[in-house]
């Protein structure tokens, strides 16, 4: 067992939270550490995940940012998102753009 382990969230969660912090976890502060963790995940969820429930928000983000700035996804997955949205909405321009991004 590791005593006083330091816990951080890394880039995946913390880049969407206002307060970055690590917590020394011990038996005395386990409840506080768990609450801080839950709060960070809730903040990241509201700032990052909830706006992406509508696929169009993710598609717009992928089309306006350079591929190396796309969040939490590789080129293939982001292009599949654009392609699938183009197919769902019958938008030939989006389908073409997704294909160009992936193969050109």
Are 9 and 40 a contacting pair, CB within 8 Å?
yes
**Cα torsion through 54, 47, 41, 81, rounded to 10:** 40
Going by C-alpha positions, the residue among 19, 21, 25 that lies closest to residue 6 is: 25
Q: Which residue has the higher pLDDT, 32 or 4?
A: 32
pLDDT given for residue 4 in this prediction: 54
pLDDT in tens, 36-82: 878 887 887 787 777 767 888 888 888 888 777 776 567 777 888 88
Could you read off the pLDDT of 3-23 as tens digits, one per residue?
Answer: 555 555 555 667 777 877 776
């Amino acid at each position: 067992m590791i005593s006083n382990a330091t816990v951080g969230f890394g880039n995946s969660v913390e880049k969407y939270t206002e307060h970055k912090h690590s917590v020394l976890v011990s038996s005395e502060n386990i409840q506080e550490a768990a609450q801080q963790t839950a709060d960070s995940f809730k903040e990241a969820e509201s700032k990052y995940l909830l706006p992406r429930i509508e696929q169009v928000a993710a598609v717009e983000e992928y089309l306006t940012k350079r591929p190396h700035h796309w969040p939490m996804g590789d080129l293939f997955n982001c292009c599949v998102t654009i392609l699938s949205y183009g197919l769902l909405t019958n938008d030939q321009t989006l389908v073409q753009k997704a294909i160009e991004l992936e193969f050109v």
